[in-house]
Amino acid sequence: MVYYPTSFGSIIYLMLLPLYISAKNDVGFNVNLIRKNTPHYNHNVLPLSGLLSPKEKTPQSPTYAYLGHYLMELSIGTPPFKIYGIVDTGSDLTWTQCVPCKNCYKQRNPMFDPRKSTSYRNISCDSELCHKLDTGVCSPEKRCNYTYGYASAAITQSVLAQETITLTSTTGESVPLKGIVFGCGHNDTDSFNDHEMGIIGLGGGLVSLISQIGSSFGGKRFSQCLVPFHTDVVVSSKMSFGRGSEVSGIGVISTPLVAKEDKTPYFITLLGISVGNTYLHFNGSSEIVSKGNMFLDSGTPPTILPTQSYERVVDQVRKQVAMAPIIDDPDLGPQLCYRTKKNLPGPVLKAHFEGADVTLNPIQTFISPKKDVFCLGFTNTSADGGIYGNFAQSNYLIGFDLDKQLVYFKPMDCTKYK
């Protein structure tokens, strides 16, 4: 059945917290992200016949992202071991599958073996880190265990550890981060595919990679420019950290982050959505909307709205599209879809956030789940709030300034952003 990839936002539960970092650098850095149809090569993998280039003697195998996922390449351990994790601003924990992995999902590439790394350190039950856990998670070996779940019902669990994580900047420079707390997963189930080796948690909680980096790179801020999934240009998306990740210049708009008890999601306030010239208030009336009713999540592909708001948006889109929607394809379920070889010419939507009106063109709102079909990249929830997904975030330079508690949007052709 055709469906949107599972959301990796909305944490169900978490049992850990703080950390330490030894890297100090007041200069920020940029990294490339992998999206669907932009292959990278994993040098940990033994080659199949014919995969070696005449100029490349290192074993390699192509790594692709699935539709709806952006992957970040980073290395764990000493010597460095490459992994590819889903970039997720909707969760905190960075983790990868580790051997031995008796109850894990199938993974195309080899798993990280902590026994082969000289910088790997388990966190003991007696450490300050483990004392931050909510409940008793001490293993018989006195190691600090964790369990981390997602709204999709996916779970990763096993050992909390510290390691050296190395990122490679777009200039080719290695950026080592020592003492990073991460999950060495030995029991990881459901909702993951064989290209994904874990998740890179970039939420606002204490254990996220952003919080662990802190101000070591010139400020607690980062930005992203996500290339839309349906573009023929083979180019990587970009993510910037620290100094240099500021979003400024002509066309920049901003909306405030809303602080809540849950520190992980980046909550913002959606006042309403326009479909063409028709304005739809968020809750269907002129009443004041709740602050922080949406959060930005790079790990969730579609934009998720409360059912009433979603149905009103779908109704207006249907009225403004000249074509008849598909009604006879069981693969598509209740999604609003059209049979067309090219993306729809309209309508243009506009997300009205507090202080920031974000224009959404069809490349950001209509997604092709299969050949010659384009569907509205929105879905619904019974909850009062929603999620602003990565389909809608594409072709914008989006900056998260956690010091100023602001999110910036700047329209951008992300295929050309350097």
Residues making up the chain, counted from first to last: 418
CB contact set of 305 (below 8 Å; sequence gap of 6+): 273, 313, 378, 379, 380, 381, 386
In whole angstroms, how far apart are CA 81 and each of 60, 86, 202?
Answer: 13, 17, 21
Check: CB of residue 316 under 8 Å from CB of residue 280.
yes
What CA–CA distance (Å, rounded) separates 329 from 199? 33
- Phi/psi for 18 (5° steps) reads -30, -170
Pairing of strands 378-381, 303-306: parallel
Check: CB of residue 6 under 8 Å from CB of residue 142.
no
Q: 62: which 2 tokens?
A: 């192509």
Q: Which of 88, 92, 188, 401 is catalytic?
A: 88
In whole angstroms, how far apart are CA 320 and each of 212, 345, 392?
Answer: 47, 11, 19
Q: Which of 92, 188, 297, 401 is catalytic?
A: 297
Give yes or no: 328 in active site. Answer: no
What CA–CA distance (Å, rounded) separates 321 from 344? 8
For tokens 């080592």, the residue is 176
Give yes or no: 401 in active site. Answer: no
Check: CB of residue 196 under 8 Å from CB of residue 71.
yes
Catalytically active residues are 88, 297
